[in-house]
A and B are shown apart, each in its own frame.
Chain A
Amino acid sequence: MEFKFEGRAKLITQVLMAVGLIALVGGYLTDHSDHHQRWWANLLVNGFFYFSISLAALFFYALQYATESAWSVVIKRFLEAMFGYMPYGAAVIVMVLLAGQLDLHHLYHWMDTSLYHEFMTVEGGVTTYVDKEVTGAVVNPNYDHIIAGKKGYFSGWFFWLRTIIYLTTFLGFAMLFRKWSLQEDKAPNLDLHYKIFRRSALFLVFFAVFSSTLSWDWLMSIDPHWFSTLYGWYLFSGMWVAMIIFTHVTILWLRTQGYFQEISNSHMHDLGKWMFAISMLWSYLFFSQFMLIWYSNIPEEVTYYVSRVFTDYKVPFILMFLINFVVPFLVLISRDTKRNPKFILPVAFLIFVGHFADVYLLVIPGTMFNHNVFGFFEVGLFLGFLGLFVNRTLSTLSKAPLIAKNHPMLEESKELHY
């Protein structure tokens, strides 16, 4: 059965995209912060959040293949559909990074080249960075000892090389998986299945490294003095749970529209278990990162949490953690609630926004400091990107049969008890 993307669903996503476009233009015109900092910061938040969902879908897809899981075969095509957004998300991220490099915004303080030189000479208004021995050399007031120590990692070519490697790897694997999956539809092909299996395992190796380093490069470097070795895992668990939520809710909707009848309540129960389990993983990593930094109380580390937990952002930050941890813990712990959309849906909507707020609070305190504004622009941009994401996902979904009919474990998947 093929999914047809038309009618009300398509219209709603287009309206959301239009709202996003209005927010994008209106936000730029009404944003009077220095270098349109607010506009760019929110673009980064949304660009990363939705990109990370499709990235998590790619990871989850590879995980299912590498572990030879049978239950997930019926949702395989939906995971593939989420790859469809990946180029758009990548484009937004590249746009933000490029704009930073071209000095259009100051999200990334380390992109300022004047930070890396200890001495300089000023002659006729022209600043030249020089060695200490040069006559007339004075101390550069912009010099930042800590950032200069990270010069090798932050140097422009290395940073861009990494970004390009991440994106080509992800997009390449997504394209290949999709291609092979469609090829398998034409005729049963066990060799091809094992090929995807091996490539999935290979992808997981790349993903293990890249998911950490990309989170350092794109988000942790917003606070360049601060570092946390848990940061990559924390982000990874966040993107994973957001992806599971999106999958669960959209498949529930698709089933009410008469599609995906092969997906039973037991499959939804399994997705509910993932939602519960990964919410707990996220909470665990959140707390592990927070408690060690809070307890040791080292000035260079604790500054990150001072603005989030004790001063400007304490209300949204603590609320965000409570929603993302307590709500799924209390509601989804029972078997019956995981099988019942009446319980799953409110929780899913709440923690989807919760995990968006998580990414928002990773970026905003380090870019807007204590003069952040939250208004229609932020809401509009979130809805606009949501519309684009759903639109691309459903459009990709409509381009192939909903069930991969020649997958060797399809029958086993349909027979899932619980």
Chain B
Amino acid sequence: MKKVFHVMYDDDEKLLVAARELVSKGIHVNEVYSPFPIHGIDPVIGIKRTRLAIASFMYAMTGLSLAVFFMWYTMISDWPMNIGGKPSFSFLENLPAFIPVSFEFSVFCAAHGMVITYLLRNGTLPGMPATNPDPRTTDDKFVMEITTDTNSMNAQDLESEIKKTDVFELSIKDVKES
């Protein structure tokens, strides 16, 4: 059995202060549920830097290669085009003309890829079941999740430490360890 504490705050600043306090006492915070990103919370509760940027770069590169290949194939290779002297059967000599399309398609792929990756990774694609502990965290409340299995402190100590912060509501549940 493990105990799960869902500590609710009514202000993001209060949660941030409480998280700093608890972490400084050696308490591990599993997760924070919030209606919007809380500025500066990531380093406090020890969340790793997102790798979304790397994914975005790879999507952009995919888009760039696809666009370049498509334009080379249609304009130069399969049916060479010459519109007013450009592109005159050479991809490199006419590179400036291909830049806008390559740029736009890279941005298109990066943006869509990033959004889809983000939604998948967070489990928030349309129709996916909600995982937040309380529906109010999508409105104006902020919830911090602390469990006994990731903390060396016992449940009583954890509860008393949590209650020292500016708590709005505290719910404690017993959950079977899987």
Report the stretch among B95-103, B112-120, B122-130, B135-143 that lies at the interface: B95-103
Chain B 49-88: CB-based contact to A (< 8 A → 1; otherwise 0): 0000000000000000000000000000000000011100
Hey, which chain A residues are within 8 Å of B96, CB to CB?
287, 290-291, 294-295
Chain A 98-117: CB-based contact to B (< 8 A → 1; otherwise 0): 00000000000000000000
Which listed residue (A287, A290, A417) contacts B39, Cβ 8 A? A417
Asked if B40 is at the interface of the complex by the 8 Å CB criterion, the answer is: yes
Measured in the bound complex, the distance between the Cα atoms of B91 and A255 in whole Å is 49
B84 touches A297 (CB 8 A): yes
Hey, which chain B residues are within 8 Å of A295, CB to CB?
86, 96-97
Hey, which chain A residues are within 8 Å of B100, CB to CB?
291
B85 touches A297 (CB 8 A): yes
Hey, which chain A residues are within 8 Å of B99, CB to CB?
287, 291
Measured in the bound complex, the distance between the Cα atoms of B44 and A417 in whole Å is 13
Measured in the bound complex, the distance between the Cα atoms of B84 and A291 in whole Å is 15
Measured in the bound complex, the distance between the Cα atoms of B99 and A290 in whole Å is 12
Question: Main SS of chain B's interface residues?
Answer: mixed
Hey, which chain A residues are within 8 Å of B86, CB to CB?
295
Given A297-B84, A297-B85: A291 and B40 within 8 A (CB)? no
Hey, which chain B residues are within 8 Å of A287, CB to CB?
96, 99
Measured in the bound complex, the distance between the Cα atoms of B84 and A174 in whole Å is 50
Hey, which chain B residues are within 8 Å of A290, CB to CB?
96
Hey, which chain A residues are within 8 Å of B85, CB to CB?
297
CB distance from A121 to the nearest CB of B (A): 46
Measured in the bound complex, the distance between the Cα atoms of B99 and A64 in whole Å is 34
Measured in the bound complex, the distance between the Cα atoms of B96 and A290 in whole Å is 9
Q: Which residue of B lies closest to A291 (CB)?
A: B96
CB distance from B119 to the nearest CB of A (A): 23
Hey, which chain A residues are within 8 Å of B40, CB to CB?
417
Q: Which residue of B lies closest to A290 (CB)?
A: B96
Q: Which residue of A lies closest to B40 (CB)?
A: A417
CB distance from B51 to the nearest CB of A (A): 13
Hey, which chain A residues are within 8 Å of B39, CB to CB?
417
Measured in the bound complex, the distance between the Cα atoms of B84 and A297 in whole Å is 9
CB distance from B129 to the nearest CB of A (A): 34
Measured in the bound complex, the distance between the Cα atoms of B2 and A81 in whole Å is 62
CB distance from A329 to the nearest CB of B (A): 12
Measured in the bound complex, the distance between the Cα atoms of B40 and A295 in whole Å is 48
Chain A 22-47: CB-based contact to B (< 8 A → 1; otherwise 0): 00000000000000000000000000
CB distance from A282 to the nearest CB of B (A): 16
Chain B interfacial positions (CB closer than 8 Å to A): 39-40, 84-86, 96-97, 99-100
- Between-chain CB contacts (< 8 Å), 15 pairs: A287-B96, A287-B99, A290-B96, A291-B96, A291-B97, A291-B99, A291-B100, A294-B96, A295-B86, A295-B96, A295-B97, A297-B84, A297-B85, A417-B39, A417-B40
Chain A interfacial positions (CB closer than 8 Å to B): 287, 290-291, 294-295, 297, 417
Nearest first, the 5 A-B pairs at minimum CB distance are: A291-B96, A417-B40, A294-B96, A295-B97, A417-B39
